Amino acid sequence: MKSRRSLLLVQNGTMRKLILIVLLLPTSLFAQEGLRNLIDSFRADVGILRRATVPLTEARDERLKAFYRTTLEQLQGLDFARLPHDAQVDYVLLRNHAETALRQIDIDRAKLNEEAEYLPFMNTILNMELARKRLDPVDAPKRARELNDLSYAINSLREAVEAGRRPSKTLANRIVGTLQTLRGVLRSWYTFYDGYDPIVTWWCAEPYRACDTAIEGYINYLRTRVIAADNRTIIGDPIGRTALLSELQSEMIPYTPEELVQIANREFAWCEAEMIKASREMGFGDDWKAALENVKNDHVEPGKQPEIIRFLALEAIEYLEKHDLVTIPALAKETWRMEMMTPQQQLVSPFFLGGETIQVSFPTSTMSHEAKEMSMRGNNIHFARATVHHELIPGHHLQGFMAQRFRNYRSLFSTPFFGEGWALYWEMLLWDHGFQKSPENRVGMLFWRMHRCARIIFSLGFHLGTMTPQECIDFLVDRVGHERANAEAEVRRSFAGNYGPLYQAAYLLGGLQLREIHRQLVQSGQMTNKEFHDAILRLGSIPVDMIRVSLTNAPLTRDYRSNWRFYPGI
């Protein structure tokens, strides 16, 4: 065992004593801790750099690029071969994260350049805030003139757009987001001086209000006249094939978008075949959609939904422990909670959401009659059989509980391919173990697996430019059997900008990745189910290929790129 020597200086009043301490600790431990410290520092440094710089500016881009390059240089300076395997995993994760961040800066700047024609005044606002951040002396009369000119320029630009220089709906939607950021930057600039600097306040109060009003008017015009947005309009921003390939590279998935659609279609065909089997048992022959309609109508009465959710949650926990599938800490069983979703939330999330608290979707008295019926049908007993354990235990609640206690520093690398893939994997595993009790249960569980196949097809189709939002909605209704309002909410949620472009595809693909590792390690007899699942929960939310590498101790290089083809036959 190698050792390191450390000198500890102890000061007692005016006396200094030099104490030599020999720490007999392995070098590998220092290396592992060093990587963890570097990751923690990286996350803290990125946070403070973002707070200290001005959004949308090239200055922020260049400062962050310099930081990411420095991080990559630091990693390059490490002796990769002498790192323990777990530290090598951390190395690859941080390198991949920094490289992805560098690519994303250029992608975001290219998008902003597309908006430049409609935002010629942007740099005026950004430069004012940059000067404030530097604490430059402010020339109040000059700033007042700039603000005054700016309000006229914005109003004139809006008139020009009205006269025919209209952007597309997609571009207009993106411009609105940028305008909201610019409005916040301008507010930050003015608030700093307002009331504290009487000269700036005297000169700039009215010009600032005029400028803020002009930006607000421009936003409202784009929303109402160009985007024509209402509660049902869905405007997304397809990123294109090149950006999708970049996203897949960052997730360590060596497939093209077209290959992933092939995987989804193959899984969809399996689901349809199983649906027909269950439909025949229910007496509907090959008309599985009729069987699905029958299942949808098996819902509880108003007020009874929390009761069925509690029953299904406890049933899943009992099943897991009876079959010794995973360790469930007593505190995790004790502390999950339940809340009901508002009607407004259900417009975007028509089904359950979860984690430590399961958020239950069910109609309220204020909903229209049609909305009530669709919500009850879309959250029936048999659909809930899969969603409850997906959201709670062994799904997101258990996953989050363990992530806070093991390798929490890896939260920087959080990915939906593990986050959502883990919960979806359990839907497949419990199916394989016979958790479903009836053909109606099977139909309910199959609906969700078909839904996840459809998510891959419609989300990648949208970003490849081969499907419109309306075609995505129709696909969910016609091929999966969604209620139309629920399909609209699902597509709206997918493309609203709150999720990454691969998020919806990540459920099934991440689940399939974990299922393949299960085949390699559990079905081969190398690990038990409990050993396998407990080990995964202690690795953190990382790309699934890194879970495979960790569990199999697969060799790594400093420039490792995934070539793991986890789905046979594609």
Model confidence over 30-71: pLDDT tens digits?
A: 566 779 999 999 999 999 999 999 999 999 999 999 999 999
- DSSP-assigned states of every residue in 70-85: HHHHHHHTS-GGGS-H
Band the pLDDT of 184: cuts 50, 70, 90.
very high
Q: Which sequence spans correspond to the domains of the chain? A: 29-115, 119-227, 243-552
Q: What is the mean pLDDT of residues 184-191?
A: 98
Model pLDDT for residues 340-387, shown as the tens digit of each residue: 878 777 766 667 777 888 888 787 778 888 777 777 887 888 888 888
Q: Which is more confidently placed, 442 or 373?
A: 442
| 391 pLDDT tier (thresholds 50, 70, 90) | very high
When pLDDT is averaged across residues 464-490 and rounded to a whole number, the result is: 91
Res 6 pLDDT > 60: no
Q: Please tell me which residue, 490 or 216, carries the higher pLDDT value.
A: 216
214 vs 298, residue with greater confidence: 214
Question: 19 pLDDT band (50/70/90 cuts)?
Answer: very low
The mean pLDDT of 280-303, rounded to a whole number, is 92
Question: Under a CB-based contact definition with an 8 Å cutoff, are residues 390 and 313 in contact?
Answer: no
**Residue 11 pLDDT level (bands cut at 50, 70, 90):** very low
Cis peptide leading into residue 394 (ω within 30°): yes
The yes-or-no verdict on residue 446 having pLDDT over 50 is: yes
pTM: 0.89
Place of tokens 């069983």: 333
pLDDT score, position 483: 83
Say yes or no to pLDDT of 302 above 70: yes
Residue 275 parent element (H or E): helix 257-281
Percent of the chain's residues with pLDDT above 70: 93
pLDDT at 343: 77
How far apart (Å, rounded) are the C-alpha atoms in residues 112 and 120? Answer: 12
Mean of pLDDT values over 402-414: 95
pLDDT mean over 422-447: 95
Closest CA to 141 of 207, 213, 215, 214: 207
**Alpha-carbon gap, residue 234 to 227, rounded angstroms:** 10
Backbone Cα Rg of the chain: 28
pLDDT of residue 12: 41
**314 φψ region: left (φ > 0), alpha (ψ -120 to 50), beta (else):** alpha
pLDDT in tens, 21-31: 223 334 455 56
pLDDT at 7: 30
Residue bearing the bigger pLDDT, 298 or 98:
98
Instruction: Compute the distance between CA of residue 480 and CA of residue 141 in angstroms, rounded to an integer.
Output: 63
Per-residue pLDDT at 21: 29
Strand partners, 11: 16
Examine the pLDDT at 18 and tell me if it is beyond 90: no
Residue 525 reports pLDDT greater than 60: yes
Region 203-225: mean pLDDT is 96
At 26 the pLDDT is 47
> How confident is the model over 539-560, as a mean pLDDT?
97
Half-sphere exposure of 255 (CA within 13 A, CB side): 22
| 252 pLDDT higher than 50 | yes
Mean pLDDT of 264-280: 97
Q: Coil, strand or helix: which one is 19? A: strand
How confident is the model over 216-232, as pLDDT tens digits?
999 999 999 998 865 56
What pLDDT sits at residue 249? 95
